[in-house]
Amino acid sequence: MDPVFEMTVTPVGDTLLVAPASDMDHSADADLQRVLHLLRDPGRTVGVDMSGVSFMDLTGLRFLVDLGHHCEDRGGTMLTYAWQRQPRRVVTTAAQLRLTVDPRPPSLRPVQQDS
């Protein structure tokens, strides 16, 4: 049985302190999306305390990226702290990727000629 997803959100002045207290993985996706929807205040700093997250997969990474974009789009910032080893490794590995994403389908991409 998957652990119950928990996250506390505490307003402190102009900052929201967000503290997940379970795995941020596929089983928590619906809960993470609900939390993201609730965090709609413009111009806030959001501090994410990662000390309660011992495991994170790409679902958790996507949540953090979406939350960071959400904050930036509204003039705020997101800070994360107190990382455990495995989630920190996921973020570090993702940051090292150098991907070029072409949104066009393969049939519309230019063909490279061999020289």
Is residue 17 a part of any domain in this protein?
Answer: yes
Proportion of the chain in helix, strand, coil states, percent, rounded to 5: 40, 20, 40
Report, in angstroms and rounded to the nearest whole number, the Rg of the chain calculated over CA atoms. Answer: 17
Per-residue pLDDT of the chain (115 residues), as tens digits, is 556 889 998 988 888 899 999 899 999 999 999 888 887 766 788 999 999 999 999 999 999 999 998 888 888 899 999 999 999 999 999 888 876 677 777 777 666 666 5
Estimate to the nearest angstrom the gap between the alpha carbon of 82 and the chain centroid: 15
Return the pLDDT at 110.
67
Report whether 28 contacts 5 (CB < 8 A). Answer: yes
State which residues form the domain around 56: 7-96
CATH number of residue 69's parent domain: 3.30.750.24
Return the pLDDT at 29.
93
Return the pLDDT at 113.
64
Tally of domains in the chain: 1
